[in-house]
Amino acid sequence: MILGYFEDGTNLVTLAMNGWGPEEPQWWLNLRARPEARAQLADGTNWQVLDRRAAGAERARLCDR
C-alpha cells in the first residue's frame, strides 16, 4: 500500500483519504482499531508508529503544510 506522508519533527503524518470516495479508507479503520504499527518508508527506513488523530491548532498547522 502506498500512502502520502510527510515528517513533522519526530512524527510521521498521513492523510486518511479514500480517493474521492465518501467512505473512510479501510487502512485507516484498521489503524484506528490497532494503533500500534510499523511503517516502511520509500527509502526503506522503518518507523514504529502509534496512531492518533490531530485536532485543533495542531490539525490546522498540519493542514497548512
Q: Which three cell numbers stand for residue 44?
A: 526503506
pLDDT digits (tens, 9 = 90+) for 42-51: 899 999 999 9
Distance of CA 29 to the CA centre of its chain: 11
pLDDT digits (tens, 9 = 90+) for 9-33: 999 998 887 777 788 888 889 999 9
Q: Residue by residue, what is the 3-state secondary structure of the chain? A: CCCCEEEECCEEEECCCCCCCCCCCHHHHHHHHCCEEEEECCCCCEEEEECCCCCHHHHHHHHHC
Distance of CA 52 to the CA centre of its chain: 9
pLDDT at 44: 92
Question: pTM of this prediction?
Answer: 0.73
pLDDT at 46: 93
